[in-house]
Chains A and B, each alone.
Chain A
Amino acid sequence: MSKPVLSILLCLLFCSGLHSQNLSDLIISEAMPGCPGSITDDYGNNSDWIEIFNTSQGTVNFAGCFLTDDLSNLRKSQITKDDRSTKIGPRQVVLLYAAGNSALGTYYLNFTLPVGGTVYLVSNDGRTIIDSLKIPATLPEGMSISKFAHDNKELLFDDIHPSSPSPRSLNGRHEQKTKSQIMKETDPHGWILTLIAVSVVFSALLILFLIYNLSGNIFTGKYKRRPGHHKADDETAAAIAMALELASGDDAVPAAIAMALHLYSDDGAHDIEPGFITIQDKPSAWRNKNLMFRKTTRKI
């Protein structure tokens, strides 16, 4: 394998390793300092919590990833690699408790939320910061800081502001109408969809028809170009005929020669005509040079 190809393959492997299992699709979607009345962890405490959201359409395993509130210590709290429940489904969330003690369980961190600071999600390589979320010092009690996606299809979390806490659910517009419901409102009788769909089906097959018609014409030789030198050959034939006529003074001989030359140049004398047996020069295994000769050894 050539060096450039090997280099490209190695680069691809290296790049894919950087964001193994699409860890880059994870974001910190919401965080909230604990307060009386907020959600409780498995031990009944009102712990701080952080919500991680998988924006991709595939499952992402975030085992081995780190969370930290300190840029100088990116490996502060690691998600255990031994727990099989660390897979986040497509467009699903997982809740982590910033209880200050990671020994409490898989979903517990060894720090609490730094009000006025920033929480970082770090890849399992311990170096690459995947996402971060700043906790405002002015965050009202009982409110969380959330990232919102205005378009739940594109999921661009470009709006960050305090909101009512919504742990374990997608932030933003929660009730989205299905396509079927939208269609029922916009096209209750189905005529619009029918017209569009029929047009698309016809267009698709029409395009295929045009392409195959074109390719068929090419393959059957309909668009075969005449060689460019024919015009010159015709002119040459006419010139020879004129010269012969001048030399001999007879019309019949030069006309016959000109016709023969014209047919030869136009290949008209060599057509395959129906009803006539045409012997064609077809290659066969008997004449195949590759089979008749021994392969030469390759020089090294």
Chain B
Amino acid sequence: MEQVFDSLVQFWQFTGFANCTWQHLAMIAIGAVFITLGIVKEWEPMLLVPIGFGIIIGNIPMFPGLNIGVYEDGSVLNTLYQGVRQGWYPPLIFLGIGAMTDFSALISQPRLMLIGAAAQMGIFGAYLLALAFGFSPSEAGAIGIIGGADGPTAIFLSSKLAPDLMGAIAVCAYSYMALVPVIQKPIMLLLTTKKERLIEMPRPREVSQKEKIIFPIVGFLCTAFIVPSGLPLLGMLFFGNLLKESGVTRRLANTAGGPLIDVVTTLIGLTVGASTQADKFLTGNSLKIFALGLVSFIIATTCGVLFVKIWNLFLRPERKINPLIGNAGVSAVPDSARVSEVVGREVNPNNHLLMHAMAPNVAGVIGSAVAAGILLGFLG
């Protein structure tokens, strides 16, 4: 009888109930909030649902040494987590993004590319603030990239520059990407007048197949020669786009932009979520990172909109740009472009800004990859 009792006690010690702390419960609650936001509000469900469930998986209280945790060498979760840790997943996601993205809007209106550059100020604003908050330069660089509003880039850079902060940075980046409509809209309304919001832009010209094929090749050569450290992201992005536009590799493009990106997104979301274990996540640094991430999004949106407003001062009336597409310079594709469309149509239901906003939006993807390459080159 005593042996049975001892066995039961031993079993109890292995259960989650015996090892549970308030931190575990807090993290499980955060995971549940993510899932709720994804399902009920439909805010980036493809990201928030896997991340939310990953957070719950990673925070099930357990007895260490069972070789099942995400940080325990050789465990299943640890093996899947290597894609994040070693930076395999982000370039694969970029391959899929390239294969799915139509760069026609950008090719037809290349001047809008500069808005994508202006919006990257969020990255460097957050970098400066993070240094002021006492983070080391490499940590500050990893935190700053949240301002690019690009989850894969944030994971890629933080895995290289600040692996310890990667969980918090990734969750922060994806959370704010999901909250793009909430964060950006008030800033856009605050910084623009009704007259500016009514600006109608000429319809972009049609782009030939040849131009679409030349775009990824020239784009890659230019950016990779300037920032070779951004090679994994830029190479995969433009390669994916070449697969799409070449017209002869449709099957590869469909795979890269379909099943492959779906699989990688699922794994990256789940493992990033699982990496946010209570003892590593519930720290003062995580709170600072979330605050800095929010500020970086605000700076990026503000700079994008203000850049267009200033630019408009030098443009002829028929060439003026609607400043509502300035927010789309961050690379949250296509959410930020969608925000431009929605806010624009609130003022004039016939003014469709989506196709115009897609230009700075995809330029933002390129811009954030270039910025990540620069930070990696200087701090890696």
Contact = CB atoms under 8 A, between A and B. Distances in A.
B376 to A, nearest CB: 10
Contacts of A188: 131
B110 A207 contact: no
Contact of B111 (A178, A180, A209): A209
B137 A197 contact: no
B374 interface: yes
Nearest to B218: A211
Given A183-B379, A190-B137, A215-B211, A196 B363 contact: no
Nearest to A214: B110
B222 A189 contact: no
A191 interface: yes
B379 A179 contact: yes
15 contacts: A187-B137, A189-B132, A190-B124, A190-B140, A193-B378, A197-B371, A200-B227, A201-B371, A204-B223, A204-B226, A208-B110, A208-B219, A208-B222, A209-B110, A219-B208
Contacts of A178: 138
A216 to B, nearest CB: 7
A209 B114 contact: yes
B120 interface: yes
A57 interface: no
Nearest to A186: B137
Contacts of A21: none
A206 interface: yes
B107 A216 contact: yes
A131 to B, nearest CB: 29
B117 A205 contact: yes
Interface in A205-227: 205-209, 211-213, 215-216, 219-220
Q: Which residue among A200, A207, A208 has the maximum number of chain B CB atoms within 10 Å of its CB?
A: A208
Interface string B331-357: 000000000000000000000000000
A207 B226 contact: yes
A204 to B, nearest CB: 5
- Interface size on B, as a range, is 35 or more
Nearest to B208: A219
A194 B367 contact: no
A191 B219 CA distance: 28
A179 B107 CA distance: 37
Nearest to A212: B110
Contact of B136 (A180, A198, A220): A180
- Interface size on A, as a range, is 20 to 34
Contacts of A197: 123-124, 371, 374-375, 378
B358 to A, nearest CB: 15
Contacts of B161: 180
B214 interface: yes
Given A189-B131, A200-B374, A216 B110 contact: yes
B233 to A, nearest CB: 13
A244 to B, nearest CB: 44
B128 interface: yes
B222 A201 contact: no
A209 B113 contact: yes
Contacts of B371: 197, 201
Contact of B374 (A189, A196, A205, A212): A196
Contacts, number: 112
Given A201-B367, A216-B107, 11 more contacts: A179-B138, A187-B137, A197-B124, A201-B374, A204-B367, A205-B117, A208-B219, A212-B106, A212-B107, A212-B215, A219-B210
Q: Helix, strand, loop or mixed for chain B's interface?
A: helix
A184 B116 CA distance: 29
A183 B124 contact: no
The 4 nearest A-B residue pairs measured at CB: A212-B110, A180-B138, A183-B137, A205-B117
Contacts of A211: 110, 218, 222
Interface of A: 178-180, 183-184, 187-191, 193-194, 196-198, 200-209, 211-213, 215-216, 219-220
B366 interface: yes
Contacts of B366: 204-205, 208
B254 to A, nearest CB: 25
B380 interface: yes
Contact of B124 (A194, A205, A207, A216): A194
Q: Which residue among A189, A197, A216 has the maximum number of chain B CB atoms within 10 Å of its CB?
A: A197
A65 B355 CA distance: 62
B20 to A, nearest CB: 37
A190 B378 contact: no
Interface string B251-293: 0000000000000000000000000000000000000000000
Contacts of A198: 120-121, 124
B234 to A, nearest CB: 10
Contact of B205 (A190, A194, A220): A220
A180 B165 CA distance: 15
Interface string B192-214: 00000000000001001011001
Contacts of A202: 114, 117
Given A179-B378, A180-B137, A204 B218 contact: no
